[in-house]
Amino acid sequence: MVTTFRNTALVRIACILCTALAGGAHAAESAQLTIRGVIKPSACTPTLSGGGIVDFGTIPVTSLSHAGPTRLPAEDVALTITCDTPTKVGVVSMDNRAGTADAAAGDVLPARGPDVLFGLNAVGGRNVGAYNVQFSTDAGAAVADSEPVDVLRSERGGAWRALGTAGGTAAANGANGNPTMFTWAGRGAQVPGAYRIIAQTIRITVAIAPALTLPPLTRDIPIDGSATFSIRYL
């Protein structure tokens, strides 16, 4: 899960004073001054702990439910956003395996519905499973510039709303073309705050499709989920 953003702001002023001497005894009667520069916004860079890889290792076939989905233990990933200067930012997510989320697997996940299920790819035309990406609101899960902060959410460009005080809220997979955006604010505030370093716990919960709907279990079946987190400057 990798995202790339603009570099640090740079302000430059270059002055050119041109003086020309006319041929003969007379000096030029004018001089030209040019002002140039580029103003760029502060740049922010997101990183994910563990290189953004959640590895469940080898899952024995015998551990899978035959007729129902199998939920795996949740894994936490730390999302850190580092900015050159205090900056207001939001984060959206996008499923890079769109269309492969298994609906049955979603039945045992914390959040259900086509907008919040991310796919684990398909093998032989059969979906392997699904997972949720949750922005945690547990104690200490959201910290900005060393202070606890509230997590705010905006749906389809609407008003910012604070998340609950426990658990978390699932991110949208971007299938609707306008994914849920998350941002951070001081305690009790309803507008995004400007911060230099933001640390947010992301909870990943995976479920494998019922074994009877998987491809023939005579060969390895890869779990291959992929999502992108993108920064939006507010």
- CB within 8 A of 90, min separation 6: which ones? 154, 181, 182, 183, 192, 231, 232, 234
Of the candidates 111, 217, 222, which has an alpha carbon nearest to the alpha carbon of residue 163? Answer: 111
List, for residues 131-186, the tens digit of each pLDDT value: 999 999 998 999 999 999 999 999 888 999 998 766 789 999 998 777 789 999 99
Over the stretch 12-55, which tens digit does the pLDDT of each residue have? 334 333 444 445 556 678 999 989 988 877 899 999 999 999 99
Q: What is the DSSP letter of 27?
A: B
Scanning the structure block, which residue is given the tokens 């200067």?
A: 85
Q: State how far Cα 52 lies from the chain centre.
A: 11
Contacts of 104 (CB under 8 A, 6+ apart): 68, 69, 209, 210, 213
Q: What integer pLDDT is reported at residue 163 of this predicted model?
A: 87
Per the prediction, the chain carries an average pLDDT of 87
**Per mean pLDDT, which range of 5-9, 44-48, 56-60, 69-73 is the poorest?**
5-9
Predicted local distance difference test score (pLDDT) of residue 96: 96
φ, ψ for residue 46, nearest 5 deg: -95, 145
Q: What is the pTM of this model?
A: 0.82
